[in-house]
A and B are shown apart, each in its own frame.
Chain A
Amino acid sequence: MTAREIRNFLIAAGLLALCALLPVYGSPYWLTMGTTMAMFAVLATSWALFSGPTHYISLATAAFFGVGTFVTGLGFQALPFWALPLIAAGIGAVLAALVGLVTLRLSGVYFVIFTLGMAEMVRQVVTWVQNQTGHRGMYVLTSITEREIYWMLLGLGALVYLLGWLIGRSRLGFALRIIGNDETVAKHSGIDTALAKVALFMVPGAVAAATGAMLAPRYIYIEPATAFAPLLSFQVVIMALLGGTGRLWGPVAGVIPFTLLWEVITRQAPNQTLLLLGLAFLLIVYVLPGGFVGLWDRLRRRYGGHG
């Protein structure tokens, strides 16, 4: 590792420790906010791992997330809790692979539409299974506190960062950047583009499912309508794009201001939260095409920053 990488690692570890101590120095209010931010940070960062380099906009986050909450809902009494996010991640990855095999050969808008429909499809399948089996509403009553959920999410976040860093250095990451720039060139260079895309699409699928599994004890009552709420997918996309997908830390730079702003708007003008989502999107398209990351890089270039 170079000196710069070691420096970055130390900074990241320091920031992580600072976050992990939030329950110690922060008020319960900030712990609740922190849990929400950690959730979105994990979801948006893992989303950007795939959608950043490939430019495939995935709206399937809610589908994976919902599957994860149902894994916990079904399994928390029979299995130790630590096993549930792992199982959820496995199911999420398999589901992502299946979806990827079907859709990632298609390009652009087909993929977007399919992933949007997928959350609804999975919701209907879950409901159908419940109906067939006469299954009742699920109550996830555990002794898991918000603090523990927060730490679990932080741990998952650290894993996602590590994974992102490794992928960025790997042949897979390189292949995906080529695919993102020009898929035809990538094919002609001998890259198995479908395989590379499917492999990477499994990452956000697994992470979102694990996140859902961790958050189920927070919701207590699991029902398909809230577990698969499509709004989640859009929030993740907007936050990630606002921060910028060009760098690993980009999505978090979008998550934090967006979550704070959402909170302020909820307090002051509760009916306008969806408007915020729309305005943020316009802002990204017209002013910040590269998100905050793009802005940062532009400013650094202009004012002669280096390093």
Chain B
Amino acid sequence: MTFTFLILAVIILGSALAAALRPNLIHCALLLVVSWLGVAGFYLWAGAEFVAFAQVLVYVGALSMVVLFAVLLTRQSRAELRVDAPETRRAVWAVIAGVAVSGVIGAAVFATKWDPAPVTAPEVTVRGIGLELMGAHAAALLLLGVLLTAALLGAVVLAAPDRPEKEEKS
């Protein structure tokens, strides 16, 4: 429980909470980018440098751009960036559900008897990760490549506009 961890927790949770409350869509997206950066900082603090860089590349770099593109492609005017505030009834039930979930998980965390033995930080190098990925997890890596290809092809098919002959028919 260090000072750095507390600061990171405040950054992650603060920006996520602010994103839950802001009415402006662009502000929400940018605040969530800050939250993802905080998670990358947590990975660095925990000693998983490679994962931290992957998080920055995938979430902060690529995913935020895709989200901003989606926001800009799906608006017609400046006023539309303000999404309506959530309806009170749904918001209340959502908060109740969130508090209940975190309460259950928190109670479970405190009720569990954790192994009190001190743990030394596991030594993992990028070379070691690469050898593991290409050795024991080679099949999963190939499957992941297939999954990414299929997902991107599916995204193109979904987002592409309907073909003209279809429009003539309707």
**Chains A and B come from one and the same complex:** no
